[in-house]
Amino acid sequence: MKVHAVAVNPVDWKIRDGGERFGLELPLILGGDIAGTIEEVGVEVKNFKQGEAVYGMTVSGGFSGGYAEYALAKADAIAPKPNGIGFEEAAAIPIAALTAWQSIFDLANLSGGQRILITGASGGVGSMAVQFAKAKGAFVIGTASGRNEQFVRDLGADEFVDYTTQNFEEAVKDVDVVFDTVGGDTQERAFQTLKKGGFLATSAGTPSAEKARVCGVKAAFVFCKPNADQLIEINRLIGEGKLKIHIETILPLTEVKKAHELSQTGRTRGKIVLTIN
């Protein structure tokens, strides 16, 4: 694939710093979210053609290869670029959207009418989850800092909790699902908001099995996997106007250092995207 844009994810600088490697060996090219045009197709690939605009995850499963002019992707890890959006917006979708989708639907089995608490609701993954949950018909409660209240409400949140001024576990009770994108102490306290039999899904570290047992709930960590069928479902939501892509900053690849520094603050609203071609 000829890469036009690639998203920055926290896993990029975690791999760079040696904190996480996922079996990868240095040196390597970072970047897992890609959007661009197909340069060549394998002999067994029938559903894509040269020159087609697509987006998805790199052949490594989304952990590396995207910060480059060209990248490899498997046919079952990409989908046609949604109509009406650019390559920059498309690149911001795959890992964040699939992480949110697989957490709240595949793991927690969220359904319409249920109550869900989403921590870090203004971030790249959290902002996707708010919109998915709302599209499903759930009652959505989001946490973020006060400056992001209107942003989170505009995504569709029914309630908002400013974690800087109040303890969300005191304000929120008896939810069916928690989707935690923050981890640490936030994740520990989030258990207190669940009703018996509820589910805590997280993209931010392995949850405590003992804590889940004591609280009478289930808990699991999502390991995002490429899924072309889910990307196509996400395309449908975009086409129906039920999912909007929010980008904090677009920078050229030459400013990748600045992009990583911004990502590491943990205060971005939506995604950071690098342009290449």
* 202-255 tens-digit pLDDT: 999 899 999 999 999 999 999 999 999 999 999 999 999 999 999 999 999 999
Distance of CA 274 to the CA centre of its chain: 17
> Which two three-digit tokens encode residue 178?
């928690």
pLDDT digits (tens, 9 = 90+) for 141-198: 999 999 999 999 999 999 999 999 999 999 999 999 999 999 999 999 999 999 999 9
Angle at 137 between CA 230 and CA 134, to 5 degrees: 70
- For residue 147, give the amino acid letter: R
Residue for token digits 């970047």? 31
> Which two three-digit tokens encode residue 197?
């039999």
DSSP state of 104: I
The CA distance from 36 to 52, in Å, is: 8
The CA distance from 276 to 66, in Å, is: 10
Angle at 178 between CA 176 and CA 179, to 5 degrees: 140
Contact 5, 41 (CB under 8 A): no
> Per-residue pLDDT for 23 more than 80?
no
Query: For the whole prediction, is pTM greater than 0.75?
Result: yes
Nearest partner of 97 among 127, 128, 126, 122, judged by Cα:
128
